[in-house]
Chains A and B, each alone.
Chain A
Amino acid sequence: GAVVSQHPSRVICKSGTSVKIECRSLDFQATTMFWYRQFPKQSLMLMATSNEGSKATYEQGVEKDKFLINHASLTLSTLTVTSAHPEDSSFYICSGEGPVGEQFFGPGTRLTVL
C-alpha cells in the first residue's frame, strides 16, 4: 500500500509555543490530505481536509487560526498548532487519499503540551 510519513513522531513543548507537524506521501501524490486528532481509547476525529493549492476545509468546532494547515505540494501537508495549550495534547494523525477513496495514514504524532 501507499506510504505516508509524519514528522515528528513525538513532541513535547511548553504552553504558548507553536508546533509544526509534517505529513508526506512518499510514493504517491495526494491531492487531498486529512488531519485527525485522537484521544485515548476514542475514535479519530476529523479536524480538516487539506486540498493541494487551496485553503483547508475545517470541521465544525475546529479553530482554523489555531490549527494552521498548509498543503503546498502534492506530497506535503503541514499542521501547525499555534500557541499550544495542555488541552491540545493529543495524538494527531494525517492521511492521504488513495485511488478508491481509501485513506492511507501516517504513523501519527503524539503531542504533549506542558
Chain B
Amino acid sequence: AQKITQTQPGMFVQEKEAVTLDCTYDTSDQSYGLFWYKQPSSGEMIFLIYQGSYDEQNATEGRYSLNFQKARKSANLVISASQLGDSAMYFCAMREGGWTGNQFYFGTGTSLTVIP
C-alpha cells in the first residue's frame, strides 16, 4: 500500500481564492510526522508546514494550514488567498518512527496553477 497518496495530479485556482490539496497517509505507528513541501520550477524543495501525530490543533503557517483528520488519516493542505507565486508542485510527506525514525515517504505530488 502507498504510504502517502495524493490523488490530485493537477489543480487550478483563481488568484486570491483558497485551495485545498489532498493527502492521505497509511501508517501503523502511533508517532509520526506529516509535512508539506513546495517545489517551484527552480527545483528547490521548500518546507511549508509540519503536523505531529500528537498535535491536537491543526498546524498553521501564514497562509498555509494543515487540516489534520487523524481518524481519516488525512492531512490536507489549505492555501488561503492564493497568489501567482504559489504555482508549483506540492508534495505531502510523512515521517514514521517518531523522533528517532528516519523513514520518510513522499507522495507523487500535486501541480498547482494559480490563474490571474
Contacts and interface: CB of A to CB of B under 8 A. Distances in A.
Interface string B33-75: 1010100001111110010100000000000000000000000
Interface in A79-107: 91, 93, 95, 97, 100-107
A96 to B, nearest CB: 11
Contacts of B52: 100
Interface stretch (A21-29, A38-46, A68-76): A38-46
B43 A44 contact: no
A77 interface: no
Interface residues of B, number: 22
B95 A101 contact: yes
Nearest to B95: A101
Contacts, number: 54
B95 A107 contact: no
A38 to B, nearest CB: 8
Most chain B CB atoms below 10 A, which of A1, A43, A91, A97:
A43
Contacts of A20: none
Contacts of A38: 43
Interface in B71-116: 91, 93, 95, 99, 101-102, 104, 106-109
Interface string A26-62: 0000001010001000111010010000000000000
B44 A108 contact: yes
A48 to B, nearest CB: 11
Interface in B8-47: 33, 35, 37, 42-47
Given A101-B33, A103-B35, A103-B45, 15 more contacts: A42-B108, A43-B91, A43-B107, A43-B108, A93-B45, A100-B33, A101-B104, A102-B33, A102-B47, A103-B93, A104-B47, A105-B37, A105-B45, A106-B44, A110-B43
Interface of A: 1, 32, 34, 38, 42-44, 46, 49, 91, 93, 95, 97, 100-108, 110
